[in-house]
Structure 1
Amino acid sequence: MIPEFDLVIRGGTIATSGDIFDADIGIRDGKIVALGLDLARGQDEIDATGRLVLPGGVDAHCHFDQPTLDGSVMADDFVSGPRSAAFGGTTTVIPFASQKKGESLRAAVDDYHRRAHDKSVIDYAFHLIVTDPTPQVLGQELPALIREGYTSFKIYTTYDDLKLNDREIIEVLALSRREGALTMVHAENSDAIAWLTEALERAGQTAPRHHADARPAIAEREATHRVISLAEIVDVAMLVVHVSGGEAMDQIAAARAKGLRVFAETCPQYILLTADDLDLDGFEGAKHICSPPPRDTASQKSVWRGLANGTFQVFSSDHAPFKFDSDTGKKLHGEGASFAHVPNGIPGVETRLPLLFSEGVGKGRISLNQFVALTATNPARLYGLYPRKGTIAIGADADLAIWNQTREVKITNDMLHHNVDYTPYEGRTVTGWPETVLSRGAVVVRDGRLMAERGHGQFLKCGAPDLQL
């Protein structure tokens, strides 16, 4: 007798963004084709008794093999980055194809495809980064790319080689409205940061801890208010990325209360790190330099409230993999360099889900359904991948993570699978870990071993954003 299914996952407790129930999962040709009790046998079977079966995570903000202009080099490419993500329970990643000023956006996309081709073990899509919105880009390239499945793009209000002025932001937002795309914004006030940085450097205050002084919460608050106002003028949805605390959150919550379609994302560093982590001996604090910087314990509490009350729709890693002990990483300009010349960003693509599960679900700060929504369902919806990704439903891709919800794991860099030489969460113990991970019905990770071959992952074209969140 021919088995009815290629694979059956039996006896697990399934959680989606809306439900928790016990059922078997029948998989055929990489898709979920049945949910029920006592399903017919499969060619292969996985016993998930006593385990949680969750949708594979969707990390909608991570950086792999992204070109830089300062000589720094990202340690993770499309081999090591997606591999690390998979070990952490993530089955879809969305990194960034970044345009260089003066160059074609189409050229950036073509280059990123070359970097990714035949490497990833899990599926991936691309966001775009728009740094030079010329008439050619806005009139031809970007509309064509949106129609080809690149339906989200990021813009910046800071960093000289990335930032747009207000008129340029309005032009991009107007195109986003016209073409049905979603604009993501890195919101910090560039001029305020530059003024503070110069003042700190003149005073000799250049140690890593002063990175936080140069990028205060008010600079994030102002830029968040400004870009929300510009989006309101255009009457278009937008998403503020990596929000660090209450001041920016208040702007977002007020906008949503008015009925504006403003969405928000936060990251592990804003619930687990503070500015004190930048104030370590010697140059060690550089390990925690990211922008916006971690704030304080009051900001952490605010972010937790926002995760629980719906201010945040997405929880991403913002994985930015620069090695610490490297002259192409954090020590690009040496250990005596000013904070302003340290490559920004911290690794976290593998630890994103276990940290939020342990600190959020395990400690009663958020529900299991909220965990699934924040880490899988909502990003899939906002970035045009739902219901193929981000849920457990008939017809969806069989992207699944089977969690041992009681397993205690002490995080060390030695156990992780990225290509970075440190983790900001070294020595932290979490409860709950994904032990088996499937991508389109194929086992990618099992019991600490990589099972999928390089190139299993497929490029995903994204559809229109689902803004009904």
Structure 2
Amino acid sequence: MTQIDLYSKNSRCIDRVFLSERRYIVNFQPVDLVIANGTVHTPEGSSRHNVCVVGGKIVGLTDPSNTPPAAKVIDANGLDVLPGLWHVHCHFREPGHTYKEDFCSGTTAAAAGGITFCIDMTNNDPHPTTLESFELKRETIAPKALVDYALYGGGLYPKTVEALAKAGAIGIKVFNTRHVKEVYPYISELGVVDHGILHELYEAVADTGLLCAVHHDDSEWCKRLTFRDYINAGRTSNRDYMEAYERGYMYGHGMAAGLAASTYYARLTGVRLHVLHMGVMPPAANELVRFAKSQGIDISGEMETATLFMTREQAEKVGPGTYSFAYAPEEHWRAVYDGTAEMLVGEHAPHTLQEITPGWQDAFSVPLGVTGAQEFIPLVLNAVNEGKLNLNDVARLCAEAPAKRFGQYPKKGRIQIGADADFTIVNMKAESVFTAADMHTKAGYTAWEGVSVKGMPVYTIVRGSTVMDHGKIVGKPGYGQFHPGIAVS
């Protein structure tokens, strides 16, 4: 049996912690928070423990008979206690496009959906591709976040990558793509379609040790075939767009072609490559990632819930409010089960109804996006109730795996002593139906309108403080902390 002395940040001594193989036995002075009587989940298993928190950190896991007095107790009887869940693909649109979303509304939606940590993307105005624009974004959003967060630096200029890393970028995001009609959110200036520059970006990112996250494509391939078979033929309705998507013209075969080249550049440069949008590529893309891993390339990927759960019927009903639907779901589920995709995401990419409504007639000329900050975790919990996942999978796919890949583990990503006290507490019996009226996003709609789910977050707790309690937002803007990237060797 090992004895450990722990101290909180305010120097209040926690007597002693004894660790045994079977349980934690803790003799405490009063603690700040106890989450009592819940079932605690890690990727390896589940157990009945109370969780003790002091100074925003986890300081003990006890059985109910040996729990210290606490300033606050959350009774989690009948509930499941997960590590704070992550959303690693958010477009909160600030600065520059705050009429669509801002960091306050976006992180409020995330908190309502059980998310404790968000990573925000780069298609802003100005885009965070230089030290000055990155610092402007960081300073602008700091007073607004309700949950913890990190920021990608924009991959456009190889010479600015080192400065972005030093400024705290969690990784470098590269748009290896352009929209067929140069429509936002694919800011044309951000599109790196010159493969020489792409290679130099990979070299620069490899030197920092950060992750390079890439939206792959072969833009000219996609543009030529889409114009030939759809736009020039006057076939531009939302249903035509869905057909083009299903054929792989929009988000599809061109992305797989771009990925094939990119994995080779990753091999040459040694960059830590992270593949975005695996779910909207054809299954061949999964095979490319599997092969790259077998060759020792440092590569990971994220799978969108939209392409696991969104039916074509739902996508056609919502129309321009969603860019995708289930694309070879059986193959993409296999990529989740076998570890080809290490993490799940529910991409949040909102636009206003005014912007997207013309897409019923011409879906190729409106911004592409989908909502997901608030809906992501309930959709995943519903998949658990349907038997597609279990809660140990959720702890891995939505917390521990992203925390490790983005260099924030063991501070975040797991319920263990010494980690930040981030928790997503869920009621697996609770049922809900998504409606626009319940959404916190500025977009004014949900891509999942009318979809029923079973399993809902009931508490979102960030560093020991409750920011959402049974659907009510109780956290304050500015509480969320910025977490800089950490190089992973």
**TM-based fold match above 0.5:** yes
CA change 1:354–1:336 in 2 (3 A) is closer
Structure 2 matches for 1:173-212, cutoff 5 A? Answer: 173-199=202-228, 200-212=230-242
Does 1:123 find its partner at 2:142?
no
Structure 2 matches for 1:190-269, cutoff 5 A? Answer: 190-199=219-228, 200-212=230-242, 213=244, 214-215=249-250, 217-244=252-279, 245-269=282-306
Which residue pairs with 2:375 in the alignment?
351
In the TM superposition, residue 96 of structure 1 has moved relative to its aligned partner by 2.2
Does 1:419 find its partner at 2:447?
no
Q: Deviations over 1:196-224 (max 9, x none)?
A: 23222110011123334132632122111
8 Å contact from structure 1 (residues 320, 345) kept in 2: yes
Distance in 2 (CA, whole Å) between partners of 1:64 and 1:249 is 28
- Number of residues of Structure 1 aligned to a counterpart in Structure 2: 442
3-state secondary structure, aligned to 1:260:
coil
Structure 2 matches for 1:256-405, cutoff 5 A? Answer: 256-275=293-312, 277-280=314-317, 284-289=318-323, 293-294=324-325, 296=327, 299-324=328-353, 326=354, 329-331=355-357, 334=358, 338-359=362-383, 361-405=384-428
3-state secondary structure, aligned to 1:330:
helix
In the TM superposition, residue 343 of structure 1 has moved relative to its aligned partner by 0.5
CA change 1:84–1:279 in 2 (3 A) is closer
Query: Greater CA deviation, 107-116 or 208-217?
Result: 208-217
Q: Deviations over 1:401-451 (max 9, x none)?
A: 111111111222222222222212122221111101111111111122111
- Give unpaired runs (5+ residues) of structure 1: none
Counterpart residue type for residue 375 of structure 1: C
CA change 1:454–1:447 in 2 (3 A) is same
Over the residues paired in the alignment, what is the CA RMSD in angstroms? 2.2
Q: From 165, 174, 193, give the equivalent of 1:155.
A: 174
Distance in 2 (CA, whole Å) between partners of 1:352 and 1:364 is 17
Does 1:24 find its partner at 2:54?
no
Does 1:428 find its partner at 2:451?
yes
What fraction of aligned residue pairs are identical, expressed as a percent? 27
- Give unpaired runs (5+ residues) of structure 2: 1-27, 179-187
Q: Deviations over 1:27-55 (max 9, x none)?
A: 11111111111211111111111211001
Q: Which has the higher contact order (CA 8 A, sep 6+)?
A: 1
Query: Greater CA deviation, 214-223 or 162-171?
Result: 214-223
Which residue pairs with 2:133 in the alignment?
108
Distance in 1 (CA, whole Å) between partners of 2:476 and 2:444 is 24
TM-score by length of 1: 0.89
Distance in 2 (CA, whole Å) between partners of 1:203 and 1:119 is 46
Q: From 81, 88, 100, give the equivalent of 1:60.
A: 88
Distance in 2 (CA, whole Å) between partners of 1:436 and 1:83 is 13
Distance in 2 (CA, whole Å) between partners of 1:46 and 1:144 is 43
8 Å contact from structure 1 (residues 3, 43) kept in 2: no
TM-score by length of 2: 0.85
Distance in 1 (CA, whole Å) between partners of 2:306 and 2:128 is 33
Counterpart residue type for residue 458 of structure 1: Q
Distance in 1 (CA, whole Å) between partners of 2:95 and 2:481 is 22
8 Å contact from structure 2 (residues 93, 123) kept in 1: no
CA change 1:182–1:201 in 2 (3 A) is same
